[in-house]
Amino acid sequence: AYYVQDELVDGNCPIHKTAVNYVEEENYFFRLSRFEQRLLDWYDKHPDAIVPDFRRNEVLGFIKGGLNDFSVSRKSLKWGIPLPWDESHVAYVWFDALSNYITAHGYGSDDARFAKNWPVDWHFIGKDIIRFHCVYWPAMLMSAGIEPPKGWAVGGFLLVGGEKMSKTTGNVVSPLDLIDEFGVDGFRYYLLADTSYGNDGDFTYEGLVARYNSDLANNLGNLAARVATVVEKKCGGIGKAPRADSHLASIATEAVRDADAAWRNVQPSKALDAAWNLIRATNAHLEQNEPWKKPAGAEVDAVMGDALEALRIVVLLANPALPTTTQEIWRRIGLPGCIEDRRVPSDAAWGGYPEGLRVEKGDPLFPRKKSN
């Protein structure tokens, strides 16, 4: 990357805090200055195009501050894509790389496929490349007569001890080691649930263990095991239908509404909070009714029918964060097919669990972990 003088922090790179080299060479430029008002007009018509909101304000502030033309070529480099009108220059990486978003969808080679797939719903990007994606890129597309993406979801950094991970400082955490210990679903859940999307997160091993044990082992895993165990012992392993007037119905409806809105607005931590509210309510439902202490019969059937339906809705809401685990729970409570083929909110309406499905317990989904 390159920075102009007023982007430096105390004369250093704003991201890596390292000294910069000053270079001067002949470049070709994209006339970004022509697109200032067009970009502002586009964002005015698409107020939800950048999430979270404070990142949108950052982009608008940058545009309103005045746009300078930006370099699209390098003459000092030989490795790269030669410019077709001047092969003594190669394309600057950010000018070249951004075009891959459309060429990968068939632009210039398969018009039908491109028309089907573009514009995309979301670009998921990091906060350090917001200028390239939310200013340069839409201007480039406008210059080519192509509609920009519908939106950008801008993520923060995952920090360690408040600092950006760096091999130089030796604070890099290996995600592969954590996946080996906690599973892909467990680690993904932690990343999505622990930090509000768009903000920086601060990783600690102790925090990962605590959230894994609390949310996954004690809450979701415990609920799935309890439901299956009681259905096996008290209902002959056969699932029961929920009551339409169950007190859990309104809680589930609220959870579906909140989780659906949060997922659509790329706020996974809020979506998972909504799902876990339903988990806690369902565990409380079981604690209050204590079906394991009662004889088999209509009362236990009713309690477990409500719990099975709540669990069905929970896994629908949590599926984006826990795809493997939710599919396994889906299978264990007897539901056929692939959970990813279901749609929220339509398939998450209360009353969808049918009577008569075979329920099985299986091994623990999330064995508890000890902090090293």
DSSP 193: H
Domains of the chain, by residue range, sit at 5-155, 176-348
Number of residues written out for the chain: 372
Assign 352 a pLDDT band (cuts: 50, 70, 90): very high
Rounded Cα distance, 1 and 67, in Å: 18
268 upstream amide cis, omega within 30 of 0: no
Copy the structure tokens of residue 282: 């369902």
**pLDDT, position 320:** 98
**pLDDT, position 1:** 63
Cβ contacts of 191 within 8 Å, gap of 6 or more? 158, 201
**pLDDT, position 186:** 98
Phi, psi of 235 (to 5 degrees): -120, 15
Model confidence over 12-71: pLDDT tens digits?
888 778 888 888 889 999 999 999 999 999 999 999 999 999 999 999 999 999 999 999
Beta strands 86-91 and 82-83, pairing class: antiparallel
Please check whether the two domains, 5-155 and 176-348, share a CATH topology: no
Rounded Cα distance, 365 and 355, in Å: 24
* pLDDT, averaged across the chain: 95
Q: Average pLDDT in the 303-309 region? A: 99
Q: Average pLDDT in the 302-308 region? A: 98
| Cβ neighbourhood burial of 73 (10 Å; 0-12, 13-18, 19+) | buried
**pLDDT, position 229:** 98
Q: Average pLDDT in the 170-187 region? A: 94
Task: Identify which of 166, 151, 77 has the alpha carbon closest to the alpha carbon of residue 120.
Answer: 151
Ordered DSSP codes for 115-180 = HHH-S-S-EEEEGGGHHIIIIIHHHHHHHTT-PPPS-EEEE--EEETTEE--TTTT----HHHHHH
User: Which amino acid is present at 100?
Assistant: N
Assign 225 a pLDDT band (cuts: 50, 70, 90): very high
Phi, psi of 240 (to 5 degrees): -115, 155
Model confidence over 313-348: pLDDT tens digits?
999 999 999 999 999 999 999 999 999 999 999 999
**Sign of the torsion angle spanned by Cα atoms 101, 104, 105, 111:** positive
**Sign of the torsion angle spanned by Cα atoms 228, 231, 237, 243:** negative
Model confidence over 211-224: pLDDT tens digits?
999 999 999 999 99
Model confidence over 109-166: pLDDT tens digits?
999 999 999 999 999 999 999 999 999 999 999 999 999 999 999 999 999 988 888 7
**pLDDT, position 22:** 85
CATH superfamily of the 176-348 domain: Isoleucyl-tRNA Synthetase; Domain 1 (1.10.730.10)
Q: Could you give the angle at the alpha carbon of 187 between the alpha carbons of 181 and 190, nearest 5°? A: 135
**pLDDT, position 46:** 98
Model confidence over 226-278: pLDDT tens digits?
999 999 999 999 999 999 999 999 999 999 999 999 999 999 999 999 999 99
The architecture CATH gives domain 5-155:
Beta Complex (2.170)
**pLDDT, position 18:** 85
Is the pLDDT at 168 greater than 80, yes or no?
no
Rounded Cα distance, 317 and 369, in Å: 25
> What number of helices (H) and strands (E) belong to the chain?
14, 11
**pLDDT, position 166:** 79
